[in-house]
């Protein structure tokens, strides 16, 4: 049996490696394990990593070079040798920390996954980064917003391996950033706007949904083509 680490549950582990007590919003501490049959292949796992999201204290972000060495290098037994970094797409377009962290990770051979916890407040039906949903009239603007983040990272030395449309779309927190999506909304967005518009940009990063099992079948029919895939946190992409 091999326990597969999920990125959300992996954040406290990264925090421990950085010498801090905890990170941002509370995450589930439920035990989880997976039975791996090496002879039955379902997905490609590109690596393992952690997120530098809602670090506490906030002064830990951007992550220092010394801490990045601990997380991503393999020069000694005290370094973790992670291969993936997850960054947050800030809804106010304050993306400098994500870029700094991404560049340091890429310099150490890691890939970067970017996830929004919420669209910008002005695109949502409640005009707030907490709660609410993306207004259908803003679908094209939101796709352009995600493209702009990908372009910003790519042109500044931190190209993305994958970009997500939404963190945990079926869970809408009430105390921190979030946004609700139904299966139909995800399907419509990706089929009509997100997938086609993103593919035209020519970026190498794949579009990914993170872990929404109950919306998997509907969205995969529309997003399974081109660069749009559904995946769980254990993998950066599935084939």
pLDDT digits (tens, 9 = 90+) for 177-213: 999 999 899 989 988 886 655 555 545 556 655 454 4
- Residue 239 maps to a domain: no
Is 206 part of any domain? yes
* 237 in any annotated domain: no
| CATH value at residue 177 | 3.20.20.80
With respect to residue 236, please indicate whether it lies within any of the assigned structural domains: no
Percent of the chain with pLDDT over 90: 57
How many domains does the chain contain in total?
1
Q: For residue 64, is it within any domain?
A: yes
Predicted TM-score (pTM) of this structure = 0.73
Residue 49 within a domain: yes
Q: Which domain, by its residues, includes 222?
A: 7-231
Q: Is residue 2 part of a domain?
A: no
* 178 located within any domain: yes
Would you say residue 21 has pLDDT above 60?
no
pLDDT of residue 93: 97
80 HSE (CA, 13 A, CB side): 24
Q: Using alpha carbons only, what angle is made at residue 89 by residues 145 and 164, rounded to the nearest 5 degrees?
A: 80
Encode pLDDT of 48-75 as tens digits: 999 999 999 999 999 999 999 999 999 9
| Residue 86 tokens, joined | 């997850």
């Amino acid at each position: 049996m091999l326990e597969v680490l999920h990125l959300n549950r992996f954040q406290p582990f990264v925090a421990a490696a950085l010498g801090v007590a905890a990170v941002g919003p509370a995450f589930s501490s439920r035990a989880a394990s997976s039975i791996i049959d090496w002879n039955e292949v379902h997905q490609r796992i590109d690596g393992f990593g952690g997120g530098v999201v809602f670090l506490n204290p906030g002064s830990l972000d951007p992550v220092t070079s010394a801490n990045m060495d601990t997380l991503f290098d393999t020069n000694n037994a005290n370094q973790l040798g992670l291969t993936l970094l997850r960054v947050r797409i800030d809804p106010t377009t304050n993306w400098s920390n994500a870029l700094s962290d991404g560049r340091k990770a890429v310099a150490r051979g890691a890939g970067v996954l970017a996830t929004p916890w919420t669209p910008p407040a002005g695109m949502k039906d409640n005009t707030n980064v907490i709660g609410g949903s993306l207004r259908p009239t803003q679908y094209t603007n939101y796709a352009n917003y995600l493209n702009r983040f990908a372009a910003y990272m790519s042109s500044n030395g931190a190209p993305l391996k994958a970009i997500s449309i939404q963190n945990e779309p079926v869970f809408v927190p009430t105390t921190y950033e979030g946004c609700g999506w139904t299966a139909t909304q995800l399907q419509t967005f990706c089929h009509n706007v997100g997938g086609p518009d993103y593919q035209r940009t020519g970026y190498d990063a794949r579009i990914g949904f993170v872990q929404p099992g109950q919306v998997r079948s509907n969205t995969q029919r529309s997003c399974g083509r081109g660069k749009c895939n559904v995946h769980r946190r254990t993998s950066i992409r599935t084939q």
